[in-house]
Structure 1
Amino acid sequence: MADQSGSAGGAAGTQAPGAYPGGVPGYGAQPPNGYGYPGGAPLPSGKATASMVLGILGLVLIPIILPITALCLGISARRMADRGEGGGRGQAVAGIVMGGVGIAFAVLGIIMATVQGISAM
């Protein structure tokens, strides 16, 4: 005679030990292994973070000194990340890019100021 209960266990009302009817695990269930970064990825280094922050501030506040510092710190932090000595490669690259853009803006501003000064004479 065929089982008409629709359950895989055969008899009506049977279920796996430690499980509830809705599929919610009971007290016997184990939590998943591992939390946080998979494989223990390194956290961003201070140089990478400083490079990114100085790159942002260099675009807004001091357009000559901060972008140069951001560029130097970013290159150093990216090399450290490539060697596996720290994380934050993305932040380092962001600092390099913003430092380069800040230096370009500073050079462009100096050239424009020079041209305007010469044409005013």
Structure 2
Amino acid sequence: MTDQSGSAGGATGIQAPGGPGYGAQPPAGYGYPGGAPLPSGKATASLVLGIVGLLLIPIIPPIIALCLGISARRMADRGEGGGRGQATAGMVMGIIGVAFAALGVVVATAMALSAI
């Protein structure tokens, strides 16, 4: 009985699993050169202040988060840094925080006027 290689032993001439090229690297040139840009400090600060403004202190941090978020988003659009998503999230949380603060002021004023 002979195998496909024509030898009568059976085990000789059989290629090992994986074959030639096992572990070969893909050609260079895929993806971004050097990776995606890292988020800017403004974007991260906007996100953190937005979270703090929603959870702890509802007046000053949301305003700062909104301003920093707008600035960081513009920087990301110009290509000066990454973190556009973080900046947008900080802006949204800043807007929500400012709206909650304004609503709180309106409710407190209405309650104070109704007590008079």
2:85 aligned partner: 90
* Pairing of 1:1-121 with structure 2 (within 5 A): 5=4, 10=5, 13-15=13-15, 21-23=16-18, 29-32=23-26, 38-39=31-32, 40-121=35-116
The alignment-based identity, stated in percent, is 65
Deviation at 1:60, TM superposition (A): 1.3
**Distance apart, 1:93 and its partner CA:** 0.1
Aligned-CA RMSD value: 2.4
**TM-score normalised by the chain length of structure 1:** 0.76
Alpha-carbon shift at residue 30 of structure 1 (Å): 3.7
Query: One-letter code of the match for 2:105?
Result: I
Amino acid at match of 1:81: A
TM-score, length of structure 2 as denominator length: 0.79
Listed as ranges, the gaps of 5+ residues in structure 1 are: 16-20
Q: Distance in 1 between matches of 2:20 and 2:71?
A: 49
**Cα shift at 1:89:** 0.1
Q: CA, structure 1 residues 59+117, in 2 after alignment: closer, same or farther (shift >3 Å)?
A: same
Aligned length: 106
In structure 2, relative to structure 1, the CA distance for the partners of 1:4 and 1:56 (3 Å cut) is: same
Secondary structure class of the residue paired with 1:22: coil
Q: Distance in 2 between matches of 1:87 and 1:45?
A: 6
